[in-house]
Amino acid sequence: MGVRFGKDRERAGLYAENRHFQGTEGDVGVVSSGGVALRFTPVDRATLGYDLFVLAFVILFWRKIPSAGTHLLFNLSVVGVVFLMRRLRGGPLSRFLRSGYPLILFTFFYYQTGLLNRILVPEFLDPLFLSADRGIFGEFPGILLRQMLRGRFWSEFFHFFYSSYYIVIPLTAVGIFLRERGRFEEYMFQVSLLFYICYAIYIFLPVEGPLHLRALSFDGGGFFERLVDFLYAKGENPGAAFPSSHVAVALLVAWWSRRVGRAFSCVVTLCSLFLSVATVYCMFHYAVDVFAGVFLAVAYVVAVGKLRGEDKGDDEENGEKNPPRL
């Protein structure tokens, strides 16, 4: 049985009636000390689930983790953010933030994985992944792509599409919020859960990516190349390459973008496809990272569709005329 959504999710927030939670199926609620019932949405539960998983990891391996207290403080603060979002009331911006707040958390969660990913596996596993690429292609395909597509134009071309990743996810979120507000929470839940799956994998499977080859192949010239270097230096931490969350999430977002409009969907889909190539051309990922990202995205969409079908069938059996979506 999948997670149930409906138009009433737009009214998710604060509920108070005789100190009891009057929720709908699919929501989890708690009653605050002031008698206010807080309804946790699927986005909240996915975020809390991942955050508490990391919190448990930090506590379990406390002595092995540098600055473990900082991690503890961060993950506890995320719990506070989730509770704060449930109390948020107001206009369209507040409604957007109530489900869209993970868009801000993704960067911090992602960075944290790079601080935790060598606690259990002390060394990066890159030799295995580089060998896999060479076994398939005869050489790391990033080098082959650079040989075929030389020059500043192609470098800027692919670095532009690599950087588009940071735009298409929130832009699609805004588009869905404006065009199909009743589906916005569903979009955020699916994107959030896919990110959290990738992040959990990174903690146990540290793969840095072919950054040493990038340093030998690019000179830091060109606006978009410098922009990507800046974003990587400020917002990323090595060790989160397999599977490629860039590819997996970008493809999921492309799948969702059709709900915003045909022209928008074409642009986002092209960005996602070129981004998938750019991850290898720009030498941030091995090809096997991309393959894994594509597989994960497809499997995820298929699983979502199956759960939707199960929900629809169950709702029809129960006589519901307008079954909620996954």
Choose the weakest-confidence range: 72-81, 85-94, 189-198, 242-251.
85-94
* Percentage of residues of the chain with pLDDT beyond 70: 83
pLDDT of residue 97: 94
The Cβ of residue 99 has, within 10 Å, a number of other Cβ atoms equal to 26
SS3 letters for 230-251?
HHHHHHCCCCECCCCHHHHHHH
The span from the CA of 141 to the CA of 146, in Å, is 8
> Per-residue confidence at 199, pLDDT binned at 50, 70, 90?
very high
Task: Choose the weakest-confidence range: 13-17, 104-108, 155-159, 317-321.
Answer: 13-17
Using the predicted structure, report yes or no on whether residue 325 has a pLDDT greater than 50: no
183, 2, 6, 32: CA torsion to nearest 10: -110
Task: Work out the end-to-end distance of the chain between its first and last CA atoms, rounded to an integer number of angstroms.
Answer: 9
Greatest Cα pair distance in the chain: 70
Contacts 24+ apart (CB under 8 A), 92-96: 95/10, 95/177, 95/181, 96/174, 96/177, 96/184
Higher per-residue confidence, 137 vs 3: 137
Strands (E), 121-181: none
pLDDT at 37: 57
DSSP state of 324: P
State yes or no: cis peptide before 243, omega within 30 of 0.
yes
User: Edge-to-edge strands of the sheet including 14-15?
Assistant: 14-15, 37-40, 28-31
User: Among residues 32, 73, 33, 34, which one has the least CA distance to residue 51?
Assistant: 73
The pLDDT score that the predictor gives to residue 311 is 58
pLDDT band for position 150 (cuts 50, 70, 90): very high
- Determine how many CB atoms are found less than 10 A away from the CB of residue 106: 19
